[in-house]
Amino acid sequence: MNKIDKFCSIVEVSCLGETVTLYEVSLACEKAEKELFSSENWERIRRKAIETVTGLGVPVHWGKKTPEDYLDFPWDGKGIYVEKSEDGDFPRSENILHEAAHYLLAARRRRSLEDFGLGSPTSVRSGLSKDPRGLKNSEDINDEESAASALGIALVARIDLVLAIMTAEEHNWFLDLDDEILSGEIEKWRREAVGCRKRVAPPLRRSVVHWMKKIRDKILDILDS
Protein backbone atom coordinates (compact mmCIF):
# COMPACT_ATOMS: atom_id res chain seq x y z
CA MET A 1 0.00 0.00 0.00
CA ASN A 2 1.50 3.36 -1.01
CA LYS A 3 1.42 6.46 1.19
CA ILE A 4 -1.65 8.05 -0.41
CA ASP A 5 -3.62 4.81 0.07
CA LYS A 6 -2.48 4.71 3.69
CA PHE A 7 -3.69 8.29 4.09
CA CYS A 8 -7.10 7.34 2.70
CA SER A 9 -7.21 4.45 5.19
CA ILE A 10 -6.51 6.87 8.04
CA VAL A 11 -9.41 9.03 6.81
CA GLU A 12 -11.71 6.00 6.83
CA VAL A 13 -10.69 5.09 10.38
CA SER A 14 -11.34 8.69 11.45
CA CYS A 15 -14.82 8.69 9.90
CA LEU A 16 -17.52 8.82 12.57
CA GLY A 17 -20.56 8.69 10.30
CA GLU A 18 -21.70 7.31 6.96
CA THR A 19 -19.87 9.96 4.96
CA VAL A 20 -16.49 11.60 5.36
CA THR A 21 -16.44 15.25 6.44
CA LEU A 22 -13.76 17.91 6.13
CA TYR A 23 -13.32 17.75 9.90
CA GLU A 24 -12.34 14.10 9.59
CA VAL A 25 -9.94 14.92 6.77
CA SER A 26 -8.36 17.46 9.12
CA LEU A 27 -8.06 14.81 11.85
CA ALA A 28 -6.51 12.43 9.32
CA CYS A 29 -3.89 15.05 8.41
CA GLU A 30 -2.86 15.28 12.06
CA LYS A 31 -2.63 11.49 12.37
CA ALA A 32 -0.78 11.13 9.06
CA GLU A 33 2.04 13.37 10.24
CA LYS A 34 2.66 11.02 13.15
CA GLU A 35 1.98 7.70 11.44
CA LEU A 36 3.23 8.07 7.85
CA PHE A 37 6.43 10.09 8.21
CA SER A 38 9.57 8.68 9.77
CA SER A 39 12.61 10.79 10.62
CA GLU A 40 14.33 9.33 7.55
CA ASN A 41 11.34 10.30 5.42
CA TRP A 42 11.39 13.87 6.73
CA GLU A 43 15.12 14.12 5.95
CA ARG A 44 14.57 12.85 2.40
CA ILE A 45 11.83 15.42 1.88
CA ARG A 46 14.03 18.18 3.32
CA ARG A 47 16.87 17.35 0.96
CA LYS A 48 14.50 17.24 -2.00
CA ALA A 49 13.03 20.59 -0.97
CA ILE A 50 16.48 22.20 -0.84
CA GLU A 51 17.34 20.64 -4.20
CA THR A 52 14.11 22.07 -5.64
CA VAL A 53 14.75 25.54 -4.24
CA THR A 54 18.32 25.76 -5.49
CA GLY A 55 17.25 24.39 -8.87
CA LEU A 56 14.81 27.28 -9.18
CA GLY A 57 17.57 29.78 -8.48
CA VAL A 58 16.33 30.83 -5.06
CA PRO A 59 19.20 31.78 -2.70
CA VAL A 60 19.71 29.77 0.50
CA HIS A 61 21.92 30.18 3.55
CA TRP A 62 24.36 27.27 3.40
CA GLY A 63 26.03 26.28 6.64
CA LYS A 64 24.26 28.91 8.76
CA LYS A 65 22.23 27.90 11.78
CA THR A 66 18.61 28.93 11.46
CA PRO A 67 17.68 31.57 14.05
CA GLU A 68 14.75 30.41 16.15
CA ASP A 69 12.69 33.39 14.91
CA TYR A 70 13.05 32.15 11.32
CA LEU A 71 11.96 28.52 11.72
CA ASP A 72 8.39 29.21 10.58
CA PHE A 73 9.26 31.89 8.01
CA PRO A 74 12.84 31.06 6.96
CA TRP A 75 13.39 33.92 4.47
CA ASP A 76 15.34 36.95 5.74
CA GLY A 77 15.60 39.08 2.62
CA LYS A 78 18.89 37.49 1.53
CA GLY A 79 18.21 33.77 1.47
CA ILE A 80 16.23 30.87 2.90
CA TYR A 81 17.51 29.23 6.07
CA VAL A 82 17.68 25.45 5.63
CA GLU A 83 20.00 24.29 8.43
CA LYS A 84 19.36 23.32 12.07
CA SER A 85 18.66 25.94 14.68
CA GLU A 86 20.61 26.21 17.91
CA ASP A 87 18.04 23.89 19.50
CA GLY A 88 18.40 21.33 16.72
CA ASP A 89 15.19 22.07 14.82
CA PHE A 90 15.02 22.40 11.03
CA PRO A 91 12.66 24.73 9.15
CA ARG A 92 9.84 22.58 7.80
CA SER A 93 10.23 21.63 4.16
CA GLU A 94 6.81 23.00 3.22
CA ASN A 95 7.80 26.37 4.73
CA ILE A 96 11.06 26.38 2.76
CA LEU A 97 9.11 25.75 -0.44
CA HIS A 98 6.48 28.34 0.46
CA GLU A 99 9.16 31.01 0.87
CA ALA A 100 10.69 29.93 -2.45
CA ALA A 101 7.27 30.42 -4.03
CA HIS A 102 7.10 33.94 -2.61
CA TYR A 103 10.54 34.69 -4.07
CA LEU A 104 9.48 33.54 -7.54
CA LEU A 105 6.24 35.53 -7.44
CA ALA A 106 7.65 38.76 -6.02
CA ALA A 107 8.70 41.63 -8.26
CA ARG A 108 12.49 41.93 -8.37
CA ARG A 109 12.46 45.14 -6.35
CA ARG A 110 10.75 43.26 -3.49
CA ARG A 111 12.89 40.13 -3.44
CA SER A 112 15.41 41.71 -1.09
CA LEU A 113 12.72 42.48 1.51
CA GLU A 114 12.27 40.23 4.51
CA ASP A 115 8.49 40.19 4.01
CA PHE A 116 8.61 40.38 0.17
CA GLY A 117 6.75 43.67 0.61
CA LEU A 118 3.58 41.90 1.75
CA GLY A 119 3.68 42.83 5.42
CA SER A 120 4.69 40.59 8.28
CA PRO A 121 2.59 37.48 8.99
CA THR A 122 3.59 37.41 12.65
CA SER A 123 1.50 38.70 15.51
CA VAL A 124 4.42 40.79 16.75
CA ARG A 125 4.81 42.84 13.59
CA SER A 126 1.51 42.89 11.74
CA GLY A 127 0.19 45.20 9.06
CA LEU A 128 1.40 46.48 5.72
CA SER A 129 5.07 46.52 4.80
CA LYS A 130 6.76 49.70 5.96
CA ASP A 131 9.15 49.63 3.01
CA PRO A 132 8.10 52.00 0.19
CA ARG A 133 8.64 49.14 -2.28
CA GLY A 134 5.99 47.05 -0.54
CA LEU A 135 2.48 46.45 -1.79
CA LYS A 136 -0.15 48.73 -0.29
CA ASN A 137 -3.31 47.28 -1.82
CA SER A 138 -4.79 44.54 0.35
CA GLU A 139 -6.35 42.78 -2.66
CA ASP A 140 -2.95 42.51 -4.34
CA ILE A 141 -1.40 41.24 -1.12
CA ASN A 142 -4.08 38.60 -0.62
CA ASP A 143 -3.82 37.53 -4.26
CA GLU A 144 -0.05 37.09 -4.03
CA GLU A 145 -0.38 35.18 -0.75
CA SER A 146 -2.90 32.83 -2.40
CA ALA A 147 -0.64 32.36 -5.39
CA ALA A 148 2.36 31.62 -3.15
CA SER A 149 0.32 29.09 -1.20
CA ALA A 150 -0.72 27.28 -4.40
CA LEU A 151 2.77 27.35 -5.92
CA GLY A 152 4.39 26.18 -2.69
CA ILE A 153 1.90 23.33 -2.33
CA ALA A 154 2.56 22.26 -5.93
CA LEU A 155 6.30 22.19 -5.21
CA VAL A 156 5.61 20.05 -2.14
CA ALA A 157 3.40 17.72 -4.17
CA ARG A 158 6.23 17.00 -6.59
CA ILE A 159 8.09 15.55 -3.61
CA ASP A 160 5.31 14.04 -1.48
CA LEU A 161 1.59 14.18 -2.32
CA VAL A 162 0.38 13.39 1.20
CA LEU A 163 2.44 16.23 2.66
CA ALA A 164 1.00 18.51 -0.02
CA ILE A 165 -2.53 17.51 1.00
CA MET A 166 -1.66 18.18 4.64
CA THR A 167 -0.23 21.59 3.68
CA ALA A 168 -3.30 22.47 1.63
CA GLU A 169 -5.47 21.58 4.62
CA GLU A 170 -3.31 23.74 6.88
CA HIS A 171 -3.67 26.63 4.41
CA ASN A 172 -7.47 26.20 4.55
CA TRP A 173 -7.96 25.44 0.86
CA PHE A 174 -10.42 22.65 1.62
CA LEU A 175 -12.75 24.97 3.50
CA ASP A 176 -13.37 26.69 0.16
CA LEU A 177 -14.29 23.63 -1.90
CA ASP A 178 -18.00 24.50 -1.94
CA ASP A 179 -17.30 28.12 -2.84
CA GLU A 180 -14.95 27.03 -5.64
CA ILE A 181 -12.21 29.38 -4.45
CA LEU A 182 -9.67 26.61 -4.96
CA SER A 183 -10.98 26.02 -8.48
CA GLY A 184 -10.78 29.77 -9.07
CA GLU A 185 -7.13 29.80 -8.02
CA ILE A 186 -6.41 26.93 -10.41
CA GLU A 187 -8.11 28.88 -13.20
CA LYS A 188 -5.96 31.93 -12.47
CA TRP A 189 -2.88 29.80 -13.07
CA ARG A 190 -4.31 27.97 -16.08
CA ARG A 191 -5.95 30.45 -18.40
CA GLU A 192 -4.77 33.95 -17.67
CA ALA A 193 -1.81 33.68 -15.31
CA VAL A 194 -3.35 36.53 -13.33
CA GLY A 195 -1.12 39.17 -11.76
CA CYS A 196 2.04 37.92 -10.05
CA ARG A 197 1.61 34.45 -11.61
CA LYS A 198 2.93 35.84 -14.89
CA ARG A 199 6.38 36.04 -13.28
CA VAL A 200 6.52 32.24 -13.13
CA ALA A 201 7.69 30.27 -16.16
CA PRO A 202 4.92 28.46 -18.11
CA PRO A 203 6.14 24.92 -17.26
CA LEU A 204 5.94 25.71 -13.55
CA ARG A 205 2.52 27.35 -13.98
CA ARG A 206 1.29 24.15 -15.64
CA SER A 207 2.72 22.18 -12.73
CA VAL A 208 0.65 24.25 -10.28
CA VAL A 209 -2.50 23.52 -12.28
CA HIS A 210 -1.70 19.80 -12.45
CA TRP A 211 -0.96 19.31 -8.76
CA MET A 212 -3.64 21.57 -7.32
CA LYS A 213 -6.25 19.80 -9.48
CA LYS A 214 -4.88 16.45 -8.34
CA ILE A 215 -5.14 17.48 -4.69
CA ARG A 216 -8.64 18.92 -5.14
CA ASP A 217 -9.88 15.84 -6.98
CA LYS A 218 -8.36 13.49 -4.39
CA ILE A 219 -10.12 15.31 -1.55
CA LEU A 220 -13.42 15.32 -3.46
CA ASP A 221 -13.02 11.58 -4.06
CA ILE A 222 -12.41 11.05 -0.33
CA LEU A 223 -15.48 13.11 0.59
CA ASP A 224 -17.61 11.17 -1.88
CA SER A 225 -16.44 7.78 -0.60
Per-residue pLDDT of the chain (225 residues; tens, 9 = 90+): 799 999 988 888 777 667 778 888 888 899 999 999 999 999 999 999 999 999 999 999 999 999 999 999 999 999 999 999 999 999 999 999 999 999 999 999 999 998 898 876 543 445 677 777 878 788 889 999 999 999 999 999 999 999 999 999 999 998 867 668 899 999 999 987 889 999 999 999 999 999 999 999 999 888 887
Single pTM value for the model = 0.93
d(CA 91, CA 100): 13
Q: List the beta strands (DSSP E) in the chain.
A: 60-61, 80-81
- Partners of residue 34 on adjacent β-strands: none
CA 31 to the chain's CA centroid? 19
Cα 123-129-135 angle, rounded to 5 deg: 130
d(CA 115, CA 119): 6
